[in-house]
Amino acid sequence: MPLNSIISTSLSGLFTNQAALRATSNNIANVNTEGYSRVRVVQEASVTQGQSSGVNIATIERVVDKFLETALRTSKSNTSEFSSQREFQDRLQGILGDPSADSSLSSRMDQVFQSIADLSLNPADVLRRTQTLSEIQSMFQQINLFSGQIQTLRGEASLQISEAVDSVNEQLQRLNDLNPLLIRQQATGEESGGLQGQVGQALSSLAELIDIKVETQSSGAVYVSTSSGYPLIDSSLSQLQYDTPGIVLANTIFPTINVSRVNSETLETTSSAVDLTPNIRSGKLEGLLEIRDNQFPNLSAALGELGARIADEFNAIQNAYSSSPAPNSLSGKQTLVDGAQDPNFTGIVTFAVVDDSNQLVAKSTVDFDTASPADFDALVTQVNSDLGSDGTLALTDGVFSFTAGSTANGVLIADDATSPSQRAGRGFSQFFGMNDIISADQPGIYETGITGAEDHGITAGETIEFRVTDSNDKELSTVTLTVASTTYNGLLTELNDVTGLGAYFTFSYDSDGALSWTENSGFANSNLQVVADNTQIASTGLAFTEAFGVGVQYQASAASNMQIRSDIADNPELLALSVFDATGAVGDVVLTNGDQRGALAFQSLQTSLVSFEDAGELKATNLTLSQYLARFLGNAGLQAVRASNFEEDNLALQQEISARNSDVSGVNLDEELANLIVYQNAYNAAARILSSVQELYDSLLAAV
Over residues 530-572, the pLDDT tens digits come to: 999 999 999 999 999 999 999 888 999 999 999 999 999 999 9
pLDDT reading at 6 higher than 60: yes
φ and ψ of 68, to 5 deg? -65, -40
Q: In this predicted structure, what is the pLDDT of residue 480?
A: 96
In the chain the first and final C-alpha atoms are separated, in Å, by 21
The whole-number average pLDDT for the span 370-396 is 97
Q: What is the DSSP letter of 501?
A: G
Q: How many CB atoms lie within 10 A of CB 244?
A: 17
The whole-number average pLDDT for the span 354-383 is 97
Determine contact, residues 191/42, Cβ cutoff 8 Å: no
Determine contact, residues 547/317, Cβ cutoff 8 Å: no
Exposure string of 626-657, with b = 16+ CB inside 10 Å and e = fewer, is bebbbbbbebbeebbeebbebbeebbebbeeb
Q: In this predicted structure, what is the pLDDT of residue 35?
A: 65
Write out the H or E segment, with its range, that includes residue 141.
helix 126-188
How far apart are the C-alpha atoms of 422 and 435, rounded to whole Å? 16
Q: Give the chain's radius of gyration (CA, Å).
A: 38
Band of pLDDT at residue 3, cut at 50, 70 and 90: low
Task: Name the H helices within 524-624.
Answer: 544-548, 552-556, 566-570, 597-604
Burial class (CB in 10 A: 0-12, 13-18, 19+), 127: exposed
Q: In this predicted structure, what is the pLDDT of residue 385?
A: 98
Q: What does the pLDDT look like over 86-145, one tens digit per residue? A: 999 999 999 998 888 888 999 999 999 999 999 999 999 999 999 999 999 999 999 999
Residues of the chain by 3-state class (helix, strand, coil), percent to 5: 45, 20, 35
The whole-number average pLDDT for the span 483-497 is 96
Q: What does the pLDDT look like over 213-245, one tens digit per residue? A: 999 898 889 999 999 999 999 999 999 999 999
How far apart are the C-alpha atoms of 636 and 553, rounded to whole Å? 19
For the chain, the maximum distance between any two Cα atoms, rounded to a whole number of angstroms, is 152
Sign, CA torsion 75/78/84/87? negative
The whole-number average pLDDT for the span 135-162 is 96
Exposure string of 533-542, with b = 16+ CB inside 10 Å and e = fewer, is bebbbbebeb
pLDDT reading at 1 higher than 60: no
Sign, CA torsion 625/631/634/636? negative
Q: In this predicted structure, what is the pLDDT of residue 662?
A: 74
For residue 100, give the amino acid letter. S
State the average pLDDT for the chain. Answer: 91
When mean pLDDT is compared across 71-75, 284-288, 545-549, 629-633, the lowest value belongs to 71-75
pLDDT reading at 670 higher than 80: no
Band of pLDDT at residue 192, cut at 50, 70 and 90: low
